[in-house]
């Protein structure tokens, strides 16, 4: 019994776990075309005028993943207030876009201490960056 439990544990660790740093490293060159980080972990989007509001939110969330992995911030979670302050979007646009991204299972919402935060699903980062790159190639 113990060997089968250890075998399952090994398979889970080998085949089902996601290495965040590896996923971010694979997409690094693509991400840096669209995102810059400040020393305090703020995310700057370099292609704002060429993308939709939803894509802007996605790039911001991807930037926060890189900021966390780089040790610039303690969490990749982004609250509505941070989006509003750093992206300058109206709340009336922000909330429907976030809901749409949640409904599409691209981001997840975390509720803590009466506040709402959002994170992007790490397994979608590469696909999202590639989709934005293809879109920008056409313009």
Q: Is-contact 67 37, C-beta < 8 A?
A: yes
DSSP state of 77: -
97 in Cβ contact with 53 (< 8 Å): yes
For residues 53 and 112, what is the distance between their CA atoms, to the nearest angstrom? Answer: 25
Residue 112 has pLDDT above 80, yes or no: yes
Q: What is the pLDDT of residue 72?
A: 95
Q: In degrees to the nearest 10, what's the CA dihedral of 23, 32, 76, 55? A: -100
- Token duo for residue 123: 């397994």
Nearest to 31 by CA among 139, 128, 134: 128
**pTM (two decimals):** 0.84
Give CA–CA dist 68/81, Å, rounded.
18
Tens of pLDDT, residues 22-58: 778 889 999 999 999 999 999 999 999 999 999 999 9
Tell me what pLDDT residue 100 has. 96
Q: For residue range 76-96, list pLDDT tens digits in order.
A: 999 999 999 999 888 899 999
Q: CA-CA distance, 80 to 95, in Å (whole number)?
A: 8
* Helix, strand, coil percentages in the chain from 3-state DSSP, rounded to 5: 60, 15, 25
Give me the architecture of the 16-138 domain, per CATH. Orthogonal Bundle (1.10)
Domain boundaries, the chain: 16-138
Q: Tens digits of per-residue pLDDT, 55-74?
A: 999 999 999 999 999 999 99
């Amino acid at each position: 019994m113990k060997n089968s439990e250890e075998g399952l544990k090994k398979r889970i660790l080998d085949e089902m776990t996601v290495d965040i740093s590896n996923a971010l490293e694979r997409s690094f060159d693509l991400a840096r075309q669209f995102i810059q980080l400040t020393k305090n972990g703020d995310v700057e989007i370099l292609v704002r005028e060429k993308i939709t509001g939803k894509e802007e939110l996605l790039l911001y969330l991807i930037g926060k993943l890189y900021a966390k992995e780089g040790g610039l911030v303690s969490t990749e979670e982004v609250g509505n207030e941070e989006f509003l302050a750093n992206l300058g979007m109206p709340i009336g646009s922000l909330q429907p876009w976030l809901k749409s991204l949640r409904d599409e299972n691209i981001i997840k919402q975390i509720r803590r201490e009466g506040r709402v935060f959002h994170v992007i699903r790490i397994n979608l980062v590469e696909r999202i960056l590639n989709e934005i790159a293809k879109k920008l190639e056409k313009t």
